[in-house]
Structure formats: C-alpha cells, structure tokens
Structure 1
Amino acid sequence: MRKHLVFLFAALLLVGSLTACGNTHKQNDSANQSDTQTNTTQTATSQAKSLTIKDDTDRDVTVSLPITKMVPLDTSPFMVLSAFGKLDTIVGNHQSTQGNPLYEQLNGLPIVATYSAVNYEMLAQLQPQLVISSVRSHGVVKDQENLSGFDIEDVKLDLRNPDRMKHDITLMGQLFSCEEKAKQINAFYDKWQKFINDREKNLTDNQRVKVFLEYHAGRYKTGAPKSSFYSQVALAGGINVAKDLTAGETPEVNAEWVAKMNPDIIIREATGMGYTAPNADKAQTIYDEVVGREGLKMTKAVQNKNVHLVSVDIYSRPGYIVGVCYMAKWFYPDLFKDFNPDEVLKEYCKLFYPGKELKGVWTYDK
C-alpha cells in the first residue's frame, strides 16, 4: 500500500520580491486587462480619489480610495490580501481565519462573518469603507439595505471559480493599488496552465481520463458546469463526468450514477486539510469512507487505487492552480513523470504567504 501526502514542516520560504503594495493608485495600469471595467475620478478640492468598478453581478460600485478599512465576508479575499500585503486594511475577521497562523495579525479582531451568517450590527459599528462578499453560498449579502444605511459599499466577487479568478485578481489589484502583484499572481496561473496544456496537447478524447469530483459538502455532491467545482478537472486535462448534468450547479448524484459513469479517477475535495492540518488523520478517515462505499467498490477508480484527496485551499480558492497541477500528474503520470507538483505548492505559498513556513497536509491518497 502506498501513501502520497504532502506533509512538509519547517521549509522556511524566502520573502523574495513580494513586498507590500505601494499606496499610489495607477489609473492607467492594467486598464485594458480582460473584461475588468473600471473608471477613476479625482475630486479637485480634497484630492480624494474614487474608483468605479463592475463587480461579478454586473453592478457598478464606486469605492473611495485609498482603502484603509474593509471586511472580507468570505475566505478567499483574505488569501489575495495576504499576497498583496494588505491584511492591515482588515478591521473585521471571518470565523474560519480566527486563530489561523497564516493570519495571526488578525487575531483579536471582531468576528463579522461565518460560513452561514453576516453580523450586520458589527459591520455598522466597525464602519468599513467596503465589504468584499461572495456571489455564492458563503459570505453573500442578499439585501443591500442591510448596508446602504451605513455608507458601506459591497463588492461581490467570485473568488472560488477559476473561470473568474484572473478577472477578480485584476480587479482587487486596482482596488488596493496592487496592480503589479495582481499581474504576478495571474502570471503564476498562466505559467502552470500553459505547462499542462503543452504536455497534454496531443491527447485525444479517447485517451483522456474520466473523472468524478466530489466536493466538500458531502457524499455524492458534485460540480456541474458553471459551478466553482467543475472546470478544475478540465484544466487538468480530464473529462468531468458531470458535464451533462443540468440540475443546478451543485447537484447531488448517487452511487448508482457514479457506478454507471465508471470514472477512471475520483477526486475528493476536502476540508480539514491544508496549512493547519497537524497530520493526515482526518484525510485518511475521509479517504477510507470514500473507497469503502459499497456502490463505488467496483469502479475503475477504486479498483485501481486512483482515488485522491485535495485540500479546498488549492482546489476552489485562489490556490486552485496548485490542485490542477496535482491532478494533471495523477491523471497522466507518464506525461508528467519528471514533474513534481510540490514545487508549485511551494511557489504558491511563497506568493500568497511570503515569509511563512510551508507545512500541512494538502493532498492524500494510498
């Protein structure tokens, strides 16, 4: 029995060139990047600047610059702000980042959001200039009236979806005057995606593996097209067996359906892994539950021991490209025999968490 787990302690990463962003907003920098639409205006009397952006719900939002007080209502913006060196602009914390050593400077800040609720009374007390909320199930501001009376702007981003990631990183770079850091992050995505595409360019559809992805919400919950869990499999070169599902973005299938699809590989996105995991115990428990399901035992994936776990932080977060690289290696080991995705993980941690040591459990299989 073999075990593959990335469990790295005390590999101190150099800060390199990733220092905090400057405070000067570059009005013309990246003005033409993809489909990000922005407009800057400057008030002559006070020299105060404002930036008008179009968020991921197609709303025009005007934000006063510089941003010195803000609150992320979902976890992904914390990762980007860490890369930008802008954690000091955060005045309210998320329950999931409280006590996390990656964000230790935020310890003691009031908890404003959990995965299921937003404390609007606390937001009113803190009076941030803006919140960055989500367009999906976590950190969603459904009623703008909850914020409008407090002069708090709401920017809705989809920082869980690879299809929107570069656009939203660019937009955050403009909001926080960190256009160069945003370019570095997007170049990181592009570099490794191109590497994968070049290696796989001669694969025919018949040679591509069929993959079932189960995301962290539970048994047989998968990602259909347009969800934030779908495209990672395709980016890694696989065929997502959920490609024809139309019952919502995150349908729940069953063992019979998966057995009928008979995937070559099963990917389980999992919480309880990543930087803060002290060991692989939880990952092993999840893995054993998946491969032990009666309805899956005869699938090619289980029979051939091609079941793999990957942390949510490198699958459906700004670190998604790391998970894509691991999957490419699992999907086509012969094409990637000289490639070690652990190196991409190190690069990711250096880019997003400069100065932090790399540790934790990020993937798992047997």
Structure 2
Amino acid sequence: MGMNRILAKITISLLLLALALPAAASEDHTLGVFGNANEDDTINMQDVTYTELIILEYRDQTELADGKYDGRINMQDVTQIELVILGKEKELTYIDCDGDAATVNMPVEKIVVAYNNNAEMVRVLEATDGVVGVCDDILKYPVYFPDMSEKPCVGRRFDFDVEAILELEPDIVFTGTRAWYTPDLEDKLKGTGIDVVRLSSWEYNRVLAGIMKLGYILDEEENAYEYREWHNECTGTVTERVSEISEDEKLRVFVDRPGGTSVGKGSGYAETVEMAGGINLASSLGDLTYPEVDLEWVIDQNPDVIVGISFEGNYETDDVSVIRARYDEIIGTTGFEYIDAVKNDRVYVTHYIIQLGPSYPVGVTYLAKWFYPDLFEDLDPQEIHQEYIDRFQGMDFDVSEHGVFAYPPLEVS
C-alpha cells in the first residue's frame, strides 16, 4: 500500500474522530493543565487526537495543546499528553491561581502545605502521607488536622521561613496567590529544586479548579474527580433553584466581617453569597477584597439579611457561646435596630471554614437555606457537611455533636 494512501486513511480516521470530539468547555470548567488540547475538563486520548488534528491543520490551535510548553505544537506534545495519561510525565505545566503558567517536576512525593484550606485540599486527594511541613495556621487546628498539626512548622504563609523549608527537602511548597502568600517565594527557592505550586484554595471561589489541577500534580486524579462529582451535585442543586428567582426578588445581603470590613470580589465569601442567590451589597464598593465599611453606609443600605463571619468556633470547640457572642455583637450594634434584617430576625453567623476552601459547598447550602427556606425546605446542610467530613476528610467527627459552625441553629424539616 502506497504511503499517500496510508496517510489518507489516517487523515480520514482523524477527521471521523474529530466529529465526535466535544467543543471546548467554558473557562470555568476547563482543566488548566497544558496537554488539555481540547480544553475540556480532563486529559485523555481525545486530547491526543485533537493535537494531531491541530498538527494536520484540521483544528485551530489552542493554548493548552502545547503540552511541552515550548511555544510549538508538534508530535512532542502528543507524546507529553500520552505520558500524562499514563502518569509517567517528567514535568507538568499548569496555569496557577494568578493566571501564570508554572511548571512542576514530577513525580511529587514530599509536600509543604500553607494554610488550612490547602491542607483540606490535600486531604480531599488522600495525599497527606506526603506532607512533611506546614505553616503556622495549621498548628491552630489539632482536632481538625491531628496529623498535619504535628508536622514541622515553616513559618507564616505571608512570610515563609525558607531555611525551615530547605531542611525538609520537599518537592513542592503548595501555597496560594502572591497577593496573600509570600510573593517572592519563587525567587527565594530558585536553584533549590523545590517548586512553588500556587493554586486557588479560596481565591475567587475557584476551589474546584485548584483541586483538579492539584489532582494531576499529585497523581490523584480519581480522587479529584470524585470530589468534583460531589461538589457539582451540591452546588448544582442550589444554583438551579435560585436561577428561578428574578433579580428584583433576590435578597440584599450584607456580610459583616470582623474588623469593620465586608467582602468583595475575590474573597470567596462574596461568590458563595451570590451562588446562594443573594446580592452582595459590598460588591458596589469597588474591587477591594475586604472593603472597610462604616455603620451609616450599612444602615442606609438596609439589607434584607446580615451574614456575620466568625473567626471563633469551627472543629476545635463545642462551645456555642463563642459564635453566639458574634451574633449578639451584630444585633447589638448601635443603629442596626433600624435595619430590616435585624427587625425581621434575619441575622445569621457562620464560621469562615465552611464558607471557604473545599467545604464551601457546605457553606453555600447553609446560606441558601437561610436566604430562601421555602425553596430549600428539603435541604439539610448539616447532612451535607457530614458527608464532606466522612468522604473527603476521612475523619471520625460527628458535626451534629461536635464543633461550632452556624448560629442560630438550623431547623431542618
């Protein structure tokens, strides 16, 4: 058989496969790993075919088709994609939480973890055996992180102790955005062989995107996809129902954060409020993540609902008074007695740990139940919280008996 005929058959086969390939996913659902040529939510043999079609000029180039991240799309990218599928790649390039391309050497076996939400992500992926060090935040949670809280401390997430990191000889430091986590860490670790992995654990509520990328980096894709299924089921139930509410019927919500601040775009809190069908009033105050607010502005806005954020409570205590004190503080604020939210008993307090990080779908269900109790009469946030703990945190912890997460307590039908 002549070479031209062979090439023609290959081309026809590829074209037939192309007809079956899905269109590129929306940005929110695209796996931001180079090698995801068709820009959907996974890397598989369809990406091999898609890249081959790009090479043959039957498909337009996509950014993520450059699996080798060398500025060219050729058969080396096909090989890289095949290695990623097999879990045999030597390095992996992904888009970090600040929108930059970053490359990590593979495989990753030893991890330093910054912040509690990041630690939760590692535990979702069942990769805690690789944790060799943590930042000081995790030491505050001996009940929630009994094993990781005993690991060596590498300082504060805002300013890591580089010498402590070097002593542990990790493969990666798993951290977050440069705006909140040691922005010059890459420079400080340059030449050490330690990669800095920056993924969203709460920033802009892009938690799912962060977990999916981390799943590929830690070779725990199956656990990442299991979490995604649960995540989408929880949030999908809420977003589907609140989509039926017109904008002028949505509740106007003020989020009262300690220190005279509220929450804006990128905080994670603002995004959960909106996902639950609320209008976040502080979004009108500009692009600040945590804008300062004065009492006159809040009173003038006259919110339908106030959601107080508490830094006290969580898994470390069973004393409900610590979160009730936050509730009393809010309703006792001078002038707030004139606000509809206070007059109508629509003030609620939640600990931040269920509003941010991998457990944020739990927080969304609490907010939805508070905002629209008739619409979510059948929703049990505490049951969803328990499922998260059982399935994705692997803890022997009964949230109906222990911990302080929300006030007033929900009445579940």
TM-score category, normalised to shorter length = 0.7 to 0.9
Report sequence identity in percent.
26
Task: Label 1:168 to 1:102 Cα distance change in 2 as closer, same or farther (>3 A).
Answer: same
Match of 1:212 in 2: 254
Which residue pairs with 1:133 in the alignment?
A: 175
Q: Deviations over 1:290-340 (max 9, x none)?
A: 111103221111111211111111112221111110111110111112222
CA radius of gyration, larger in: 2
| Matched residues, number | 335
Identify the residue that residue 9 of structure 2 maps to in structure 1. none
Partner residue, 1:87: 128
Shift of the 250–300 alpha-carbon distance from structure 1 to 2, 3 Å rule, reads: same
Distance 1:101 1:163 in 2: 25
Indicate if the aligned counterparts of 2:97 and 2:177 stay in contact, CA closer than 8 A.
yes
Q: Match of 2:267, as an amino acid? A: S
How big is each residue's C-alpha offset from its partner over 1:258-282, in whole Å with a ceiling of 9 and x where there is no partner? 1111111111122222211221121
Runs (5+) with no aligned partner, structure 1: 1-26
CA distance in 1, matches of 2:37, 2:311: 37
How much does 1:115 deviate? 4.9
Q: Which residue of 1 aligns with 2:283?
A: 243
The counterpart of 2:160, out of the listed 118, 122, 140, is: 118
Question: Alpha carbons of 1:50 and 1:136: their partners in 2 closer, same or farther (altered >3 Å)?
Answer: closer
Shift of 1:136: 5.7
Contact 1:29 1:179 in 2 (8 A): no
In 1, the alpha carbon distance for the partners of 2:275 and 2:290 equals 19
Q: 1:32 aligns with which of 31, 34, 40?
A: 40
Is 1:264 aligned with 2:283?
Answer: no
Aligned partners of 1:29, 1:88: CA distance in 2, in Å?
32
Q: Given the alignment of the two structures, is residue 341 of structure 1 paired with residue 377 of structure 2, yes or no? A: no
Q: TM-score, normalised by structure 1?
A: 0.84
Report the TM-score, using the length of structure 2 for normalisation: 0.75
User: Aligned partners of 1:316 and 1:199: how far apart in 2?
Assistant: 22
Tell me if the contact between 1:238 and 1:331 (Cα under 8 Å) persists in the aligned partners: yes
Alignment of 1:309-348 (within 5 A): 309-348=349-388
Q: Do the aligned partners of residues 163 and 105 (structure 1) sit closer, same or farther apart at CA in structure 2, a change above 3 Å counting?
A: closer
Letter in 2 for 1:86: A
Given the superposition, is the C-alpha separation of residues 58 and 200 from structure 1 closer, same or farther in structure 2, using an over 3 Å criterion? closer
Flag the structure with more relative contact order, 1 or 2, with Cα contacts below 8 A and sequence separation at least 6: 1
CA distance in 2, matches of 1:355, 1:213: 30
Secondary structure of 2:317 counterpart: coil
Superimposed CA distance per residue, residues 129-157 of structure 1 (whole angstroms, 9 cap, x where no aligned partner):
11112116543333522111322111112
> Partners of 2:175 and 2:63 in 1: how far apart?
17
**2:404: which partner in 1?**
361
Higher helix share: 2
Alpha-carbon separation, structure 2, partners of 1:107 and 1:73: 12
8 Å Cα contact 2:331/2:342 also seen in 1: yes
Match of 1:5 in 2: none
For residue 155 of structure 1, what is the aligned residue in structure 2?
Answer: 197
Correspondence for 1:295: 335
Q: Of 213, 224, 233, which aligns to 1:171?
A: 213
